[in-house]
Structure 1
């Protein structure tokens, strides 16, 4: 005789079981919301103004209760299991936010081994009161299951195991369908009012953990490349020898929205009024390489450019759908930081913004940066309008460099600036700010004139930052290589408004342009001071890079080129491969490729590409496929302590 048969049973009809499932699901939802880091009353206040959130948070819990109620033939046993699982997951979310300022995502289930090893590195304060309440509620639901059962289903054929399995399968199918449709909807997700849409932990707290967790099942996807073999990719990664590079300091500065837009013929700047005098001077400097880097996106996606440059992977190749590269990073990755650190360098990352934005605080730890400094750790911040100035960041970089010199260390440093971030409205730098006129050969609207004045003021300050750093490192006897580039073109009005009024190709459909990738190109400079030029044998080292004549490179190849320039060929099989690929196809941008002579090839024409010299389309495709497969291995499997 079963233990539960000793207990008197009150048996609910099928509609009573369904009603009980609804009620207990609501209670479980409330308990899961109570387990979040923020107060339950603040969550409910948001829900009162947006009642659909109540349904979206309770629905998946209710369907899970039905799944297990069918399997156990008891709604309370099913509710007990769901309560324990959902609420403990909500508590895990609370702990993760408190420890790492990042919520729990579905993809975390694939990282249980890493989670277990990482827990020992954090001081975790377990919410024992919440845990105790969850356990007690689970036991209470299980006890109810011993006392309250359900009457047999009215349809005789469905009373046995078949009916239980069909009921569970149907409930689970509905849940799956909702996750792939309703919960996957970015339009619905973005329609809810939140205090800060860019701060993911805050969004989870305000919209509810159950809903946000379900939404994340279909976001930030990483597609498995065709033909992927983990063993084969692991073999590609073997080899490499540290300590081969030249001892030169490397300073990389990715400047917000930095571009040479003002070089277009439609602008009538003179030598005296040129907003980019330092960039132009370096274009003829014997110790400088200049060109354009092709970045992942237009007018946004700063973190995606960081990802491409530092890892050598490509954001645009991670998934067939749009994704955010920093949101798919959840493990230690190969990066420039690790290569330089293995050579004994001090490594650091600076950004005068919030550490939670794009999850940079965690991502740069996974990249291997020894030191990360964000706005809240910087002192005496200097602002121009609402953003920290490029000039302030130049001073901070100079201090970081001097500290490394004083400590007898070589420095690899990466800064992402923020001053020239949109929006480019007249009040950006304060009411009444006097912007220099923008000389044009065409007439533009007042709105576009304002956009240009404000944006170019920031570009002028970015160029001044470049000039300041060059002057500072020119005066140093320590060898320094400076890399300076823009993360993307500026956003100048809806539907490329300013670009259209200026008559620039950026506003045209890609197939109508003479340069199909002009909307993704920003200038870069790789410059060496005298000491670094001597240490590297600059002329020979730059000639050996085999850069294309037009100087264009995908952002994913910029970091690899810097490693080779500083003598680090042979240290990393991954970055060596990128330099090999760069020589065959310097630009890969979605479905467009550029070969070394500057010719662009569309993906649809690649298989028919058979030149008399150089790589065939089939060879290019094979290399790109290897790149994608190797990238997937790094993101999913490579174990870096």
Structure 2
């Protein structure tokens, strides 16, 4: 009893310290100002595309300009721009001999102002043009609206004679509003050239609407305040109850809109989510006594959680799960590299959140008296316990609710509600023991999978260098990239290598999950999606690639030019039996940067340094995790880095251009590294692979696929989880080309190196022969056919997955009875 009184006094003491009205008003004013600035900034940074001119049609009655037949020919289009930022000029050409091999003709386009000052110039070979199709000139020049400009066309390399190439332009059937007239060799001609002008501009109209909406909310508060002054005292209890009741559904829908950009929660889950919210609100009311305080605390916490989800989805394209709490430190170490701009839409939702908080501050007077609190407390704790039980069990067993899809948790946040789904994830934090698990069963599975496995006699490399390159991906695996610049030119030119693609378990982030699969051979398919393997599932000793190599005399070094505690690597690497770990804390040498990240040059220099420092004849294994291509890719985090890749799409994708430019630097650094080992008089194998694809513009991925993500097939969606790998040797070795999921890759490296493997690693290679890809709830068989891992999966494949899950459980959780060891 005495303890309860002490706790009550402490709570009441804290309540008395709540800021006065002036402080509350100041805090709210700062928040509203912040939201307004964010809303304005979002519109200033929002690029709108405006096109003027008519896209061409294949009309046989088209009219043309004169042909360019002499190098002295000049055609000039005079025009007056409508917007300040002229991004592109699109023009169509007709070529009289489009199939002729001798296309030495070149076209020069020049943009000049009224004073003949050159603003833009580009020269293009005729082989870049397609007959009767438009060509896009990326002008990207600021112009003055209303001022007269000239677009000059001249050609060079024209050769007289039969079957030579001549070009001409189309006359517009409906001229763009910009066009004034055009001339050919100084003579004014009829009509105008068929051109399309594309502008990039900011539109502040939505921000004006935002201010109007804000004004309406303020006016509504004033009206309510005035009414409350007249009638509030008479109906005070009803107002308190109404504010409490209305706040919960309002917060529920606002959280959905911010965190998931959707409020399409299924009806049966709406009620469950609301119940959870009411229980939490009520529990806080009992704790703090005043309803106002409990609601404000809960609203603020839910707003912070929703915004965290919003930014995480924006940065890495994957939703927050309960497991992310373990890796909060990793998130904070890279948080400063991202841009925290908030969209206008989310600013509106935040404004609504603040509106409901102000309602509570102004009108909520409800309190829970001491004698009522005891009874209500027991009722609410019972209800709260009930909710935890409902959320914590597998509800599909009683036919009410379905299991969560942890490989696509965003869809569950949309359909089942954010708060319910987040809490329900707790059920998946513990890995279930397979139903058929027994040591005898594990032994039988391993014997069957390894009975006919013989290790080939190959040259064993003295040095094995494995590089996991941050965000390294060839997005042409999805579709051809529209650019005239080369991307990954060197790695594509390599032919005397084993190569292919890995299917990795993460996209846009979650580097350590791919790393875990490669280094251990354990598949995230049988561990909770979103969980941190390095945080939950590494034990001492952790068997895998490093352990197997150390058993065969390799000195093992891990390198990562960043914080060593990221993803718990400093602990996980010790359990994996690495002899040494170089990270930011003990790197010793100066680290150079590209954008905000340590560059590949620094990482590769360290790799070379360790090779040169070892004793002659000593076996060395180095595992390097790079940082150079880490997001974000916006201007704020890129410093003085200038992109070298230009994309040719109707819309701009600056993040993608920065990313492609950065991986081109990685491509050249890999060339430098391989040149070093080519001249090294020690047998060396170099392996490089990407951890995941980059979190760049969602619209760019839509552009590559030609459709939205929600419309992708399993096979198409899995392309977002493909990264390239190469295995290069400075000695004569067998080369192959095949794709696989990353859980097999460590065993595959050992096989290529001609080294001994554990029974577990041999078992994985046998499973790979039938199911080369196991990834994110899907499998691909040896015939290239994709299947979802559900009730429709063929029985043979179900059995193989059950075998894999069983031996993996033994490898991770039953090390005292470990079966698949080295022999």
**Would the alpha carbon gap of residues 300 and 236 (structure 1) be closer, same or farther in structure 2, given more than 3 Å must change?**
farther
2:591 maps to 381
User: How does 1:109-120 map onto structure 2 within 5 Å?
Assistant: none
Does the CA contact (< 8 Å) of 1:335 and 1:368 recur in 2?
Answer: no
Question: Partners of 1:244 and 1:17 in 2: how far apart?
Answer: 78
Taking the TM superposition and a 5 Å limit, the aligned residue runs for 1:118-157 are: none
| Residue of structure 1 in register with 2:125 after alignment | none
**Corresponding residue for residue 597 of structure 1:** 783
* 3-state DSSP of counterpart to 1:564: helix
Q: Classify 1:174/1:334 alpha carbon distance in 2 versus 1 (closer, same or farther; 3 Å).
A: farther
Q: What secondary structure does 1:380 align onto?
A: coil
Query: Counterpart of 2:728 in 1: which secondary structure?
Result: strand
Q: Could you tell me whether the CA contact under 8 Å between 2:446 and 2:763 is conserved in 1?
A: no
1:293-336 deviation line (CA, Å, top 9, x unaligned): 000011111000000111111224202x5322222134122110
| Alpha-carbon spacing, 1:337–1:25, altered in 2? closer, same or farther (3 Å) | farther
Q: Does 1:499 align with 2:685?
A: no
Instruction: Report the secondary structure of 1:527's partner residue.
Output: strand
Q: Distance in 2 between matches of 1:373 and 1:181?
A: 46
1:573 is aligned to 2:759: yes
Q: Specify the SS of the correspondent of 2:472.
A: coil
8 Å contact 2:645–2:660 — kept in the other structure? Answer: no
Per-residue Cα deviation, 1:34-85 (whole angstroms, up to 9, x for no partner): xxxxxxxxxxxxxxxxxxxxxx9xx99x99xxxxxxxxxxxxxxxxxxxxxx
Partner of 1:585: 771
Question: Is the Cα–Cα contact under 8 Å of residues 392 and 427 in structure 2 kept in the other structure?
Answer: no
Q: What is the match of residue 721 of structure 2?
A: 520
In the other structure, the counterpart of 1:408 is 617
**2:524 is the counterpart of 1:315:** yes
Q: Deviations over 1:560-611 (max 9, x none)?
A: 1111122235x3011001000011110011332111222222334754xxxx
Tell me by how many angstroms 1:234 deviates.
Answer: 5.9
User: Aligned match of 2:799 in 618, 622, 626?
Assistant: 622
Aligned-pair CA distance for 1:237: 9.6
Matched, 1:19 2:4: yes
**Given the alignment of the two structures, is residue 555 of structure 1 paired with residue 742 of structure 2, yes or no?**
yes
Q: Describe how 1:362-381 pairs up with structure 2 within 5 A.
A: 362-378=571-587, 379-381=589-591
Contact 2:517 2:523 in 1 (8 A): yes
- Of 219, 227, 237, which aligns to 2:435? 227
Structure number with greater Rg is: 2
Higher RCO by CA contacts (8 Å cutoff, separation 6 or greater): 1
State the match for 1:72 in structure 2: none
Q: Return closer, same or farther for 1:22/1:398 CA change in 2, 3 Å cut-off.
A: same
- Residue in structure 2 matched with residue 126 of structure 1 by the alignment: none
Alignment of structure 1 residues 289-328 onto 2, 5 Å:
289-319=498-528, 322-328=530-536
**Residue 23 of structure 1: CA displacement?**
5.7
> Per-residue deviation at 1:472?
1.2
Deviations 1:211-261 (A, max 9, x none): xxxx99938824214324242366369899999983442111011111112
* Residues 558, 622 of structure 2: 8 Å contact kept: yes
For 2:751, the equivalent position in structure 1 comes to 564
- Count of residue correspondences: 435
Alignment match, 2:602: 392
Distance 1:556 1:581 in 2: 11
Does residue 257 in structure 1 map to residue 471 in structure 2?
yes
Distance 1:638 1:625 in 2: 19
What is the match of residue 650 of structure 2? 443
Deviations 1:264-296 (A, max 9, x none): 6543455xx4131221111x22xx111110000
Instruction: Tell me if the contact between 2:506 and 2:692 (Cα under 8 Å) persists in the aligned partners.
Output: yes
Change (3 A) 1:243 1:618: closer
Contact 1:106 1:217 in 2 (8 A): no
TM (norm. structure 2) is 0.47
Residue pairs, 1:80-95, within 5 angstroms: none
Cα separation, 2, equivalents of 1:328 and 1:498: 35
Quickly say closer, same or farther: Cα 1:413–1:182, change in 2 above 3 A.
same
Q: Partner of 2:806: helix, strand, or coil?
A: helix
Q: 1:506 to 1:523 in 2, by over 3 A?
A: farther
| Separation (CA, whole Å) in 2 of partners of 1:506 and 1:295 | 22
TM-score (norm 1): 0.59
> Cα distance 1:437–1:466, how it changes in 2: closer, same or farther (>3 A)?
closer
After TM superposition, give the deviation of residue 506 of structure 1 in Å: 8.1
1:471 to 661, 668, 675: 675
Hey, what does 1:198 align to over in structure 2?
none
Alpha-carbon deviation of 1:632? Answer: 2.0
Match for residue 730 of structure 2? 529
The SS at the match of 2:558 is strand
Instruction: Note the C-alpha offset of 1:179.
Output: 6.6
**2:659 corresponds to 1:455:** yes
Give SS of 2:686's match.
strand
Matched, 1:338 2:515: no
Aligned to 1:71: none
Give me the whole-angstrom Cα distance separating, in 1, the residues matched to 2:767 and 2:455: 22
Partner SS state of residue 252, structure 1:
strand
